[in-house]
Amino acid sequence: MKIISDIEEMIELARQWRAAGESVGLVPTMGYLHAGHLSLIRQARADTGHVVVSIFVNPTQFGPNEDFLRYPRDLDEDKALCEQAGVDVVFTPRAAEMYPENYDIYVEAADLSRRLCGRSRPGHFRGVCTVVLKLWHIVQPHHAYFGQKDAQQFLILERMARDLNIAGLVLHQMPIIREADGLALSSRNVYLSAEERRQAPVLRRALLAAERLYAAGERQAAALLDAMRQELAQADLAMVDYLEIVDTVYLKPVAEIKGQALVALAVYFGRTRLIDNILLGEK
Ligand code: AMP
Quote the radius of gyration of the chain (alpha carbons, Å).
Answer: 19
Return d(Cα 222, Cα 273) in angstroms, integer. Answer: 24
Residue of 61, 149, 172 best suited for mutating to test ligand 1, as the one with most atoms within 8 Å of CB: 149
Nearest CA to ligand 1 atom 11: 147
pLDDT at 191: 98
Q: Which CATH class is domain 187-276?
A: alpha beta
Return d(Cα 61, Cα 54) in angstroms, integer. Answer: 16
pLDDT at 179: 98
Give, in degrees to the nearest 5, the angle at Cα 129 between 78 and 177: 45
Residues near 149 by beta carbon (within 8 Å), at least 6 away in sequence: 36, 176, 184, 185, 186, 275, 276, 277
Residue of 37, 74, 145, 153 best suited for mutating to test ligand 1, as the one with most atoms within 8 Å of CB: 37
Return d(Cα 276, Cα 151) in angstroms, integer. Answer: 9
Nearest CA to ligand 1 atom 13: 147
Which residues form ligand 1's pocket by a CB distance below 6 Å?
Answer: 29-30, 36-37, 39-40, 146-147, 149-150, 174, 176-177, 184-187
- Residue ranges of the chain assigned to CATH 3.30.1300.10: 187-276
Return d(Cα 247, Cα 280) in angstroms, integer. Answer: 10
pLDDT at 161: 98
71, 190, 199 from 193: Cα distances, Å:
16, 8, 10
Q: How far is the CA of 73 from the centre of ligand 1 (A)?
A: 15
- Residue ranges of the chain assigned to CATH 3.40.50.620: 2-174
**DSSP run (H or E) holding 11:** helix 7-19
This prediction has a pTM of 0.98
Ligand 1 atom closest to the Cα of residue 28 is 6
Q: What is the full per-residue pLDDT of the chain (283 aa) written as tens digits?
A: 999 999 999 999 999 999 999 999 999 999 999 999 999 999 999 999 999 999 999 999 999 999 999 999 999 999 999 999 999 999 999 999 999 999 999 999 999 999 999 999 999 999 999 999 999 999 999 999 999 999 999 999 999 999 999 999 999 999 999 999 999 999 999 999 999 999 999 999 999 999 999 999 999 999 999 999 999 999 999 999 999 999 999 999 999 999 999 999 999 999 999 999 999 999 8
Return d(Cα 147, Cα 176) in angstroms, integer. Answer: 6
Q: Which of 5, 136, 240 is nearest to 128 (CA)?
A: 136
Ligand 1 atom closest to the Cα of residue 188 is 3
Q: How far is the CA of 186 from the centre of ligand 1 (A)?
A: 7
CATH of segment(s) 2-174 = 3.40.50.620
Nearest CA to ligand 1 atom 5: 29
Residue 50 appears among annotated catalytic residues: no
Q: Contact at 8 Å (CB) between 40 and 34? A: no
pLDDT at 283: 85
pLDDT at 221: 98
